[in-house]
Amino acid sequence: MIRLNKYMADCGVDSRRNCDKIIAENRVRVNRKPVCELGFMINELNDTVTVDGKKIKPKTKNVYIMLHKPKGYVTTVKDEKDRKTVMELVDVKTRIYPVGRLDYDTEGLLLLTNDGSLTYKLTHPKHEVVKKYLAKIEGEISESELEVLRNGVVIDGQKTAPAKVKVSGKDDKLTKVEVMIHEGKNRQVKKMFEAVGKQVVFLKRTEIGEIKLGGLTRGTWRYLNEKELEYLNKI
C-alpha cells in the first residue's frame, strides 16, 4: 500500500504537496471512483489511478550496473543457441540490457542499464568514449608493429581509428599489451592484432571512459556509484 499523493508524484504528476491540491480539487479517480481524501491509500499493483481522465503509472527508474563478465558468457539478453548469457549473472527486477558487447571468450568490464540514451552515447563512435583493454599475445611484438596498430589497420574493409597501444609486460611466451580505442567493431582488438600477425590468447576490458573495473571479481556486479554516474551524465 502507498499514499495516493506519493504514487502520483512517482508517476511524475507533480510534487506531493501539489498532488494533494489536485486530489482536493476532485480531479483524481481510483478504480473510476472519485477520491478527494488526503492521505488516501492505494494498492499500487492493482489499483488504477487517473488524473483528469488520464491513466497514470510510475516512471521507470534508470538502473546502472557494472559487471565483471567472465569468459563463457554471451553479451545478450537471450541467446538463440541456448548459451549462457550475462543476464544470468545479474539479479535485478528491472529489465536491463548490456551496453555494447564483449566476445564470448573475452572478460572484463560490462555496463548494463535500461537507459537507452546512455547506451547510444557509450556505443556510438562520434562520442569517442575510450575503452581500455589488456591483451596477452603469443610471442613478442616489435615497436614497428605497435606503430602500425597506433595508426590504424584495415579490418573487414575499413581502417580503424588511431589507437593508443603500449607493452605493459612480458615473459618467455606471452606479451601483455594495453590497448585504448573508442570504436566498437566486432572483435576489433583481436582483429587488430591479427592484422600484424599476432594471436590474442587473453583479452580483458578494464575501463570505459572514466569507469574502471577495479577489484570487482569475475562474475560479480554492483551498482555504479555517484561519481561514476556524474561522469556518465557529462558525456
More confidently predicted of 59 and 85: 85
pLDDT for position 218 = 96
pLDDT for position 201 = 96
Give the chain's domains with CATH numbers: 2-55 (3.10.290.10), 60-127+212-235 (3.30.70.580), 130-208 (3.30.70.1560)
Mean per-residue pLDDT, 49-61: 89
Task: Report how far residue 67's alpha carbon sits from residue 96's, in angstroms, rounded to the nearest whole number.
Answer: 12
Considering the entire predicted model, what is its pTM?
0.76
Q: Say if residues 40 and 2 touch (Cβ distance below 8 Å).
A: no
pLDDT for position 73 = 96
Query: 79, 103, 115, 171: which is the annotated catalytic residue?
Result: 103
Mean per-residue pLDDT, 37-65: 90
The answer on pLDDT for 108 being more than 90 is yes
- Chain centroid to Cα 126, Å, comes to 18
Residue of 134, 133, 112 lying closest to 123 (CA atoms): 112
The answer on pLDDT for 32 being more than 90 is yes
Active site residue 103: yes
Each residue's pLDDT tens digit, 218-229 = 999 999 999 999
The answer on pLDDT for 138 being more than 90 is yes
Residue 32 Cα distances to 1, 24, 35, 167, angstroms: 18, 16, 9, 68
Ranking 17-31, 112-126, 142-156, 173-187 by mean pLDDT, the lowest is 112-126
Mean per-residue pLDDT, 90-102: 90
The answer on pLDDT for 191 being more than 90 is yes
More confidently predicted of 129 and 67: 67
CB burial readout 203-230, b (16+ within 10 A) else e: bbbbbbbebebeeeeeeebeebeeebee
pLDDT for position 216 = 95
Residue 48, helix vs strand vs coil? coil
How many residues are there in the chain? 235
Q: Say if residues 202 and 54 touch (Cβ distance below 8 Å).
A: no
Q: Mean of the per-residue pLDDT values for the chain?
A: 92
Mean per-residue pLDDT, 87-108: 92
Residue 64, helix vs strand vs coil? strand
pLDDT for position 134 = 97
Each residue's pLDDT tens digit, 57-76 = 887 788 999 999 999 999 99
Ranking 28-42, 67-81, 116-130, 199-213 by mean pLDDT, the lowest is 116-130
Task: Report how far residue 111's alpha carbon sits from residue 68's, in angstroms, rounded to the nearest whole number.
Answer: 9
